[in-house]
Amino acid sequence: MSEIKRTNVGSRLSDMAVFNGVAYLAGQVPDDATLDMEGQTKQVLTTIDALLKEAGTSKERLLMVQIFVANMKEFDQMNKAWDEWVSKENAPPRATIEARLANPDYKVEIVATAAL
C-alpha cells in the first residue's frame, strides 16, 4: 500500500498531500494580503512552485487548477500574473470562480493538483 506524505501539517490542514504519484495542494493564499491582485497572485504561484518542487514535480505536470478570486473585476490582473507563470506548452485545465475568501484582504486562492 502506498504511503501518504503530507507537507506542513497543521491541526486543521496540510499544505500538500502526495499519494499514488499525484501531489494535491491545499488552497494557497498570499503571504502579504496588502498587495494588489497581480502581486498576490505572483506570491501564490511562487508558493505553488516551491510545493511542487518539494514533491518532485513542476508546473509543467499540473493536472488541474482551481482559482478563487474575491472580485471578478480583478480577473485580468490575476491573469496577467498567471500568463507570465504558466507553461504555455503545458497549460493545465483550469477553473476560475468568484468567491468570498477566508480573509477579506485575500484577493486570490489557488488549488492545484499535479502528477509526479
Each residue of 16-48: pLDDT tens digit? 999 999 999 999 999 999 999 999 999 999 999
Alpha helix (H) residue ranges in the chain: 37-55, 75-85
Each of the 116 residues of the chain gets a pLDDT tens digit; together they read: 679 999 999 999 999 999 999 999 999 999 999 999 999 999 999 999 999 999 999 999 999 999 999 999 999 999 999 999 999 999 999 999 999 999 999 999 999 999 99
Count of domains forming the chain? 1
**pTM score, two decimals?**
0.96
Structural domain boundaries enclosing 62 = 5-115
> Are the C-beta atoms of 77 and 36 separated by less than 8 Å?
yes
Locate 107 and state its grid cell.
Answer: 484577493
For residue 2, give the nearest of 26, 14, 23, 18 by alpha carbon: 18
Q: What is the CATH number of the domain that holds 101?
A: 3.30.1330.40
